[in-house]
Amino acid sequence: MFPLLWIPATLFASGFQVARNALQRGLMPSAGPWGATLVRFLFGLPFSLVFVAIAFALTPAARLQFSAAFWSAAMTGALSQVLATAALLVAMRRAGFAVGTAMQQSSLPLAAVIGLVWFHDQLSALAWVGVVVATAGLAALTWPRHASGPQPVSGAAFGLASGLCFGFSLNAVRHAGLALEPHHPIVSALACVAIVQAAQALALTGVLALKDRGALKAVVAGWRGSLGAGLCGACASAGWFVALALSPAAPVRALGVIEAPIAAVAGRRLFSERLHGLQILAGCAVLAGVLLTTLT
């Protein structure tokens, strides 16, 4: 059923993810990294529930199966995504919006390796060549020599940590969706988004209520920006989960690096950040690697 739907779903998710990251970054000075992370889940949840309702209305035959395999994978993905988002926001603040976003793309090779070792997903030899080429391009693209942030090296380290956590999250949510409703992957993906976001919002709100009430107040006070970030986050998550329900994580993550050049443009226009010549050249290598990976 629509085997190539994962491609437009990934492109859709990438665009909304850059918009969400930019809105979240704007909340960092007042809410901090954890408050800005909460925005993605708490304000995105109402939109995700609407998406689920529409999906069930269009697919009444869908039946969710809440097995132990689903809960294990879903909660692993939820925790990994929270940590990945917080690390990404710190990376963007320290190394710059474009470089932080690009460094997060280390989830491409990490997702491929985790998918192979942990979940036994199989890629063709050509796809692995694409992963290697794209990874080499990303290494040059994210080199912190000319990063615009005040702490480029530590920012790159947080970006790498973000990529590792996203690699776990991508694979975990893929298999959570497959376990929840294997016969209707789109319904399963959207339902999985809502369940995971509810768990993330509940857990992170509880932690901040105990540890940092100032961050919660800042999130509520900036509700207009928070609502926009939540909508973009819900759209991005829906796109990622649908793509992952239809394809292994590595090709999805490979195509998802399109967000790196989008972030470069956004970083220049919104935050006056610039990329140097080596990073632009490396972007061509990334695109070549993505093409090899997604055509297999």
Task: Tell me the mean pLDDT per 10 residues along the chain, length 296.
Answer: 77 86 78 83 93 93 92 92 81 66 61 65 70 68 52 67 80 88 90 93 91 86 83 91 82 73 60 58 65 58
CB-based burial, 211-245: b 16+ in 10 Å, e otherwise: eeeebbebbeebeebbbbbbbbbbbbbbbbbbbbb
pLDDT for the residue numbered 101:
60
Yes or no: say if 290 and 130 are a contact pair by the CB < 8 Å rule. Answer: yes
Yes or no: say if 62 and 188 are a contact pair by the CB < 8 Å rule. Answer: yes
**Residue 202 belongs to a domain:** yes
pLDDT for the residue numbered 151:
54
Count how many domains the chain has.
1
Cα separation values, 39 from 22, 46, 89, 274, Å = 12, 12, 12, 28
The span from the CA of 13 to the CA of 247, in Å, is: 14
Domain that holds residue 262: 6-58+65-294
The span from the CA of 41 to the CA of 18, in Å, is: 16
The span from the CA of 283 to the CA of 213, in Å, is: 41
pLDDT for the residue numbered 120:
65
The span from the CA of 251 to the CA of 273, in Å, is: 29
The span from the CA of 153 to the CA of 144, in Å, is: 6
**Residue 1 belongs to a domain:** no
pLDDT for the residue numbered 288:
67
pLDDT for the residue numbered 245:
85
The span from the CA of 100 to the CA of 122, in Å, is: 29
Yes or no: say if 177 and 252 are a contact pair by the CB < 8 Å rule. Answer: no
**Residue 288 belongs to a domain:** yes
